[in-house]
A = this chain, B = another copy of it.
Amino acid sequence: MVKSEIGQLDLIFHALADSTRRSIMRGISKKQKTVSEIAKPFTMSLAAVSKHLKVLENAKLIDRKKEGSYQIVSLNAETLKTADQWISYYQQFWGNRLDALQELLEEKKHEPKH
């Protein structure tokens, strides 16, 4: 009855299924932050944010390094790639998908807006 048999994909997708957590990802995507900095925009308690971070960390979507009395939190895009690969695989079966995505990527290269 191994309890830790929960797949990595389960953890990743579950972590991304919450808008607070996606918002955290967005917040640190541009620049790494401390836990308090991450928490500032939210109205919920720091403890709640701490829990969200643990969910993201368990899914290996973020990394932390201790720096003196705080922690620096940053994205782990390697893991995002795992999820992306799963999705991409199933999109194969949707014919024109590959070309569509490649076009999308081309656009982003030339016009790194947003």
Contact yes or no, B97 A81, CB < 8 A:
yes
The answer to whether B104 touches A88, judged by C-beta atoms less than 8 angstroms apart, is yes
Residues of B within 8 A of A109 (CB): 98
A47 beta carbon closer than 8 Å to chain B = no
Residue contact B75 to A80, C-beta cutoff 8 Å: no
This chain: copies in complex: 2
For A19, list chain B residues within 8 Å (CB). 7, 9-10
- Bound together, the chains give a CA A78 to CA B90 distance in angstroms of 11
- Cβ-defined contact, B85 with A97, below 8 A: no
In the complex, whether A50 has a CB less than 8 A from a CB of chain B is: no
Known contacts A29-B90, A81-B91, then 16 further A-B pairs from the complex at CB < 8 Å, ordered by chain A residue = A7-B19, A9-B16, A9-B22, A10-B17, A10-B18, A13-B13, A14-B14, A75-B93, A77-B97, A80-B90, A84-B91, A85-B104, A88-B108, A92-B112, A98-B109, A101-B105
